[in-house]
Structure 1
Amino acid sequence: MSTSIQEEKLAEKLQTVLADKIVNSQIQYGELTIRIHARDILSVSKLLRDESEFSFDTLIDVCGIDYSTYGENLAAKHGLGDKRFGVIYHLLSVSFNHRLRIRVLADNNDYPVVDSVTEIWPAANWFEREAFDLYGIVFDGHPDLRRLLTDYGFIGNPFRKDFPLTGYIEMRYDENQKRVIYQPVTIEPREITPHVIREEYYGDLES
């Protein structure tokens, strides 16, 4: 059975079982993606893991995404509306060798919150911490939600599209205080334009 047929059959089963919990679905590059409401992530995840016809026993990855510069055409195509932050889950069924991608969108752009799935797939623990750290997405019910990749004194979320390239603060060792200190960034914002030098008639095959 070809991959596309497998994904189509899986999509039909999911549509039958999940019904109105699926906002939309698509098969692209041989992979099935379904979008569900954020409020349903726990119930859907538990069903996908426990139902014998799905058996998605393995969580491969969880990642955050900031759609703020996605563009009107793509936002309309994927039905994003005015939602800015999303969470993407990659699942694997070892029994059936099926893969599934789930997309949920946080309802609040100012304070994005999605339920944690650590009680269903413990592997989500550090993935959710990473998304919290880099995107500021809060995972309700997470047992230990704190920064993972940035420093404890870090300000902001560096993977958000509006986060400045230089950050907000910098740290250095202060000789007078004999310790590491934090201070506002001292780098002046500037636009860097590369200076390109080419030989005369460069690339002209007739010369």
Structure 2
Amino acid sequence: MSQNNSRLLETLQSVLGDFLVNHFVQADQLTIVVKAASLKAAMTGLRDHQQLKFDQCIDVCGVDYSAYADGAWDGSRFAVVYQLLSVELNQRVRVRVFCENDDIPSVDSLIDVWSSVNWFEREAFDLYGIVFLGHPDLRRILTDYGFVGHPFRKDFPVSGNVEMRYDEELKRVVYQPVTIEPRENTPRIIREEGYGG
């Protein structure tokens, strides 16, 4: 671990205390895991503490761990990952929080901490079905209003659930069950005699 990450980790441990569950360094970036129940308090501390000053949340994304490590993952299925930046102190940290309920994954909305998370949270809701409790306008942002399911979940069918098309007779767009038959393509390899020899 670099000296900068070591100093940052010491500060994070003193500021977050019991909120901090785990930490690791990957690609020279420090990642911390915080408890879902204390997410808002932890993130407010990261923003307001004078030695941290993470004044910007530059990205939020959902993660589905159901097929992680070839199915060997035994933790919670869904997580939310936040990328925080302190412009003044020139430091970054990645924060991960696991949703406690796999059936209805949810965490607190951080829109009161950083207003920039508004559309990021809507995107994670739309694509993963993660509910951000307290979000003032949590609705789909990338898929159609009539879309069924959450397309970034590992169990979402590749061909989808419904398809839409314009119906000439009805003069409108109609939704119908997917009519594509799933098939498996096996590439045919043709090699000339003596290839590679």
> TM-score scaled by structure 1?
0.91
Q: Which residue of 1 aligns with 2:36?
A: 38
Q: Deviations over 1:116-159 (max 9, x none)?
A: 10111111000011000000000011111110110010000000
Match of 1:158 among 139, 151, 155: 151
Q: Which residue of 2 aligns with 1:56?
A: 54
4+ runs deviating over 6 angstroms: none
Work out whether 1:89 is the aligned partner of 2:82. yes
Q: Which residue of 2 aligns with 1:198?
A: 191
Are the structure 2 counterparts of residues 91 and 170 from structure 1 closer, same or farther at C-alpha, using a change threshold of 3 Å? same
Work out the number of aligned pairs and report it: 197
1 CA distance for matches of 2:56 and 2:26? 21
Q: Which residue of 1 aligns with 2:26?
A: 28
- Structure 1, unmatched stretches of 5+, are 76-80
1 CA distance for matches of 2:4 and 2:165? 55
Tell me how far 1:196 sits from its aligned partner: 1.9
2 CA distance for matches of 1:68 and 1:74? 9
Tell me how far 1:9 sits from its aligned partner: 0.6
1 CA distance for matches of 2:104 and 2:194? 56
2 CA distance for matches of 1:29 and 1:187? 41
Q: How does 1:69-148 map to 2 (within 5 A)?
A: 69-71=67-69, 75=73, 81-148=74-141
Identity of aligned residues (%): 57
2 CA distance for matches of 1:82 and 1:20? 20
Q: Secondary structure at the match of 1:53?
A: coil
Tell me how far 1:82 sits from its aligned partner: 3.3
2 CA distance for matches of 1:4 and 1:82? 28
2:15·2:45 contact (CA, 8 Å) conserved in 1?
A: no
2:16·2:45 contact (CA, 8 Å) conserved in 1?
A: no
- Structure 2, unmatched stretches of 5+, are none
Q: Secondary structure at the match of 1:86?
A: strand
Q: Please give the root-mean-square deviation of Cα atoms over the aligned residues, in Å.
A: 1.4
Q: Secondary structure at the match of 1:146?
A: coil
